[in-house]
């Protein structure tokens, strides 16, 4: 009798387990069916213009393509000094970049650009522009020879994004376009290819450690509002120091942006092609001069505004691991 009762109890327990399992499986199936139904409903509710009332988003998909608006394009501000062959190579290359709006050449030489140079560069720009959209070429003529000229406010700029570049470095257009996209995600930040690091004792260092606090303006995106800030708010003593020593305008801009945002820059991984032979960084005592600049600027700002980071932006289309 006891044996039969035990068997019956075991059978009831097993039936209960099967029932619970079946009910759980049924709930999962119902949940999955509900998810599929919601997905299908979302697709069905998507209007022909690309909007979706179910998700509460009524924008047009086409509106996300801002390539024809100032937000969707950028301007190059290129610093140059008596290296016309490099200038021609750089202009010819960057004129073919898809979302480029204009090129502004910062001209600080005592003599104005020759007519032959202007004609050649305009021809090169027209020849290399793509998508039937001409790139505007403008010479920004300065009376004074100063490295501060590259950061003068420029009211001819039609875009918010400025790509500051020296004429002796070239990046593939695909790399520039990626850096521009990164900048669009953080438009108050400097986004560039050449990272540098300041140390606790406020000395200057080439980036080796994986941590950085600056990206050099020889190849960097930033918002055009910083040109106005540099022109109007940068202490005159710092600008005079830069003009006198012909160095450190890039560090000054990094200080300015960091002091405004309280945030670090963003380093973008990209292949750089150096087409020039020499520059001020190749001169003796360069690192010592940069350290003196950092000390000087900290004293003028009253604090160290630079913020360190180890963030690196990498285009995952081009690499498997990063």
10: which 2 tokens?
A: 């075991």
d(CA 270, CA 221) in angstroms, rounded, equals 13
Residue 24: exposure state from Cβ atoms within 10 A (0-12, 13-18, ≥19): exposed
pLDDT, tens digit (0-9, with 9 covering 90-100), for 63-107: 333 444 667 999 999 999 888 999 999 999 999 999 999 999 999
Q: What pLDDT score does 197 carry? A: 85
Q: Which residue has the higher pLDDT, 205 or 54?
A: 205
Q: Which residue has the higher pLDDT, 134 or 115?
A: 115
Confidence of residue 129 (pLDDT cuts 50, 70, 90): confident
Tell me what the mean pLDDT of segment 275-294 comes to. 72
Q: What pLDDT score does 64 carry? A: 32
Residue 166 appears among annotated catalytic residues = no
Q: What pLDDT score does 60 carry? A: 31
Q: Is the pLDDT of residue 187 over 70?
A: yes
Q: Is the pLDDT of residue 297 over 90?
A: yes
Q: What pLDDT score does 184 carry? A: 97
Catalytic residue, from 160, 201, 250, 315: name it: 250
Neighbour count for residue 49 (Cβ, 10 Å): 11
Q: What pLDDT score does 99 carry? A: 95
Q: Is the pLDDT of residue 308 over 80?
A: yes
Residue located via tokens 């490099």: 86
Q: What pLDDT score does 216 carry? A: 94
d(CA 90, CA 259) in angstroms, rounded, equals 32
d(CA 193, CA 314) in angstroms, rounded, equals 11
Q: What pLDDT score does 77 carry? A: 98
Residue partners of 70: CB distance under 8 A and separation at least 6? 101, 158, 159, 160
Q: Are 204 and 296 in contact (CB under 8 A)?
A: no
d(CA 35, CA 233) in angstroms, rounded, equals 56
- DSSP 8-state class, residue 158: -
pLDDT, tens digit (0-9, with 9 covering 90-100), for 218-232: 999 999 999 999 999
Q: What pLDDT score does 198 carry? A: 77
Q: What pLDDT score does 283 carry? A: 53
Q: Is 142 helix (H, G, I), strand (E, B) or coil?
A: coil
Q: What pLDDT score does 281 carry? A: 53
Q: What pLDDT score does 13 carry? A: 46
Question: What's 244-281 look like in SS3?
Answer: HHCCCHHHHHHHHHHHHHCCCCEEECCCCEECCCCCHH
Q: What is the DSSP string of 229-248?
A: HHHHHS-HHHHHHHHHHT--
Give how far Cα 275 sits from Cα of 86, 166, 171, 297, 315, Å. Answer: 7, 11, 11, 31, 24
Q: What pLDDT score does 185 carry? A: 95
Confidence of residue 315 (pLDDT cuts 50, 70, 90): confident
d(CA 25, CA 22) in angstroms, rounded, equals 5
d(CA 41, CA 243) in angstroms, rounded, equals 64
């Amino acid at each position: 009798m006891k044996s039969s009762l035990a068997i019956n109890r075991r059978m009831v327990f097993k039936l209960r387990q099967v029932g619970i399992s079946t009910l759980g499986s049924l709930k999962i199936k119902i949940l999955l069916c509900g998810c599929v139904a919601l997905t299908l409903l979302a697709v069905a509710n998507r209007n022909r213009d690309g909007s979706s009332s179910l998700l509460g988003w009524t924008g047009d998909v086409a509106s996300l393509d801002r390539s024809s608006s100032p937000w969707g394009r950028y301007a190059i501000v290129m610093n140059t000094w008596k290296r016309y062959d490099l200038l021609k190579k750089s202009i010819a290359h960057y004129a073919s970049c898809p979302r480029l709006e204009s090129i502004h050449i910062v001209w600080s030489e005592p003599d104005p650009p020759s007519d032959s140079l202007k004609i050649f560069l305009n021809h090169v720009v027209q020849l290399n522009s793509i998508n039937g959209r001409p790139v505007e070429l403008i010479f920004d003529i300065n009376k004074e020879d100063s490295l501060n000229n590259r950061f003068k406010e420029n009211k001819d700029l039609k875009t918010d994004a400025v790509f500051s570049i020296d004429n002796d470095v070239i990046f593939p257009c695909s790399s520039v376009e990626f850096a521009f996209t990164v900048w669009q995600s953080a438009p108050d930040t400097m986004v560039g290819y050449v990272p540098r690091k300041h140390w606790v004792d406020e000395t200057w260092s080439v980036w080796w450690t994986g941590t950085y606090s600056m990206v050099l303006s020889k190849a960097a995106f930033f918002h055009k509002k910083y040109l106005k800030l540099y022109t109007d708010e940068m202490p005159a003593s710092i600008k005079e120091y830069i003009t006198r020593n012909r160095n450190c305008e890039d560090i000054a801009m990094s200080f300015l942006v960091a002091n405004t945002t309280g945030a670090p820059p963003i380093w973008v991984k990209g292949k750089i092609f150096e087409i020039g032979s020499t520059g001020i960084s190749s001169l003796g005592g360069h690192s010592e001069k940069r350290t003196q600049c950092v000390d000087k600027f900290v004293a003028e700002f009253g604090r160290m505004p630079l913020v360190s980071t180890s963030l690196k932006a990498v285009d995952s289309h081009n690499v498997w691991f990063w």
